[in-house]
Structure 1
Amino acid sequence: MAPTVLSLRDLSVEAAGRALVDRLNIDVAAGSIVGLVGPNGSGKSTALRCVYRALRPTSGAVLLDGTDLTSLKLRDSARSIAALTQESHTELDFTVAEVVALGRAPHARGNQQLTARERELCHRSMDRLDIAHLADRSVLTLSGGERQRVLVARALAQEPRVLVLDEPTNHLDVRHQVELLSFLRSSELTVLTALHDLNLAAQVCDRIAVLGSGCLVSSGAPAEVLTPELVRKVFGVDAMVVPHPRTGIPQLLYDLAAPTPADAPPEGPPS
């Protein structure tokens, strides 16, 4: 069994007297992909913010190799943990290559230039995300999907041990969604990610943690967790779970049934 690299231990976050995350316990093994899924407001992004240290937990801890992250300098934790957040944006008129190179900032000393190895690393990161041809373009001229891939490339250039991704497929077309998730599967990186799409989560994740109202509802392999009963309980929708015809990975088919008479809108006045 691979050693645990990242652990959330009784992690709790409170705001305005309300628990956004409540005693969350999750382990992420080396080289594995763990997905957080749940409805809006279930605490996924809040938990991830504690991991990349944008938020300090009210209680509990995030451990990296058994060490509480709050005991580390921000630069030291940034050398090990890279994040792509929902709030990531690039408003400055930098080129794509310059943005990707910012991934080397936690490793830099002063204003030293990138080494030949670092320049090659940045180029490989851009190539992996299919943006090498955009290297000299201003990020302000890019589409949302192109910017998203630039930010993923920046995170890869950071050479993290743990990659934290909050809805990484946002803005990506189907091709680039598949390419990104396929890359994550083959990268051997340790990944903690929040995903809305349960079918994508089932395909890419080794384990899935289902959150509801800030609490851990269930965790395990996708086939163990993604059941019609759980989907109905947590997400309030009916779904049929079927195996993918080639891979056997569970896939959800949602029931978009017509509203019942009680839910139907009232009829207008007779003509």
Structure 2
Amino acid sequence: MDLRLDGLTVTIDGAELVRDLSLDVADGAVVGLIGPNGSGKSTTLRCVYRALRPSGGTVHVGGDDLATLSRRDGARRVAALTQQGGSDLDFTVAEVVALGRAPHQRGNEPLTARERRLCEDAMRRLDLLHLAGRGVLSLSGGERQRVLVARALVQEPRVLVLDEPTNHLDVRHQLELLGLLRGAGLTVLVVLHDLNLAAAVCDRIGVLDGGRLVAVGAPADVLSEALVRDVFGVAATVVAHPLTGAPQLLYTVTATTPEGPPT
């Protein structure tokens, strides 16, 4: 199911956070959003999972205006992993994962045998089965992040949006999660701060700066030394990964002083 942002604009308290953003995410594609802090990435995602109503423009999922769908129908199409996806309630891992079935249930009906298998499979894929009976508040940040990804998968969405999903994850689980996104067959829009991970996993990358989409295309076409310098303000050398050929950035670390810019 495709996702299309058409002229998306978000203005809050007189500040234009996102400006006339149009972006297509094809059915089954993985598209990444990158950009410096405050560039509008998370604001854009919030419009897609309906935590925020845009000031202008539309979000279409499978050709339908998302704003015209009921909350239940929208949740059956779009699942989200947000930066504020935690809980202060000490549910078990298995209970949190099972919450992903809520858009498909009526009232407090128990999980079907199929749904129980779906939850077990998601926990297995995210390396969580051994933690199924643990309270989520006893877990590390990385373990909780994997629980939330499992919950999103159990929702059986057609579109998955993720805001910095590799936060708190060690290298192994970062790579496993991104490999899972590649192989899940879902339409994925993901915000990533690690440009090398974005280049490795994304079919296309959109670059936001000051609320505007300033570049979009294949990673090899977008991640140039000039763009990284102009948008992120850092010096980098772009090389090809020796095994995959994907662009990889080698950054130049410079000294800074409390009084001024890099020396």
* TM bucket normalised to smaller: over 0.9
Q: In the alignment, what sits opposite 1:163?
A: 160
1:99 counterpart residue number? 96
Task: Please state if 1:125 is matched with 2:109.
Answer: no
Question: Residues 68-102 of structure 1, C-alpha deviation per residue, up to 9 Å, x if partnerless?
Answer: 11101111100010000001112111100000000
* Alignment correspondent of 1:201: 198
Aligned to 1:236: 233
Q: Which residue of the partner structure matches residue 269 of structure 1?
A: none
* Structure 1: 4+ residue segments shifted above 6 A: none
What is the aligned residue count?
262
TM-score (norm 1): 0.94
1:143 and 1:63, CA in 2 relative to 1: closer, same or farther beyond 3 A? same
Does 2:262 correspond to 1:255? no
Q: Secondary structure at 2:2's aligned position in 1? A: strand
**Where does residue 209 of structure 2 map in the other structure?**
212
- Give, in angstroms, the shift of residue 189 of structure 1: 1.3
**Residue of 23, 29, 38 corresponding to 1:26:** 23
SS at structure 2 position matched to 1:63: strand
- Residue in 2 that maps onto 1:50: 47
**Stretches of structure 1 lacking an aligned partner (at least 5 in a row):** 266-271
Please list every run of 5 or more consecutive structure 2 residues that lacks an aligned counterpart in the other structure: none
Following superposition of structure 1 onto structure 2, how do residues 3-152 of structure 1 map, counting pairs within 5 Å? 5-152=2-149
Rounded to whole Å, the distance in 2 between the matches of 1:193 and 1:186 is 15
TM-score w.r.t. length of structure 2: 0.97
The alpha carbon displacement at 1:264 in A equals 7.0
SS in 1 for 2:4: strand
The aligned amino acid for 1:179 is E
Equivalents in 2 of 1:187, 1:13: separation in Å?
31
Aligned partners of 2:262, 2:16: CA distance in 1, in Å? Answer: 35
The 3 A distance-change label for structure 1 pair 18 and 203 is: same
Task: Give the distance between the partners of 1:17 and 1:180, measured in 2 at CA.
Answer: 38
Work out the CA distance in 1 between the residues paired with 2:43 and 2:62.
Answer: 21
Identity rate, percent: 67
The CA RMSD over aligned residues, in Å, is: 1.5
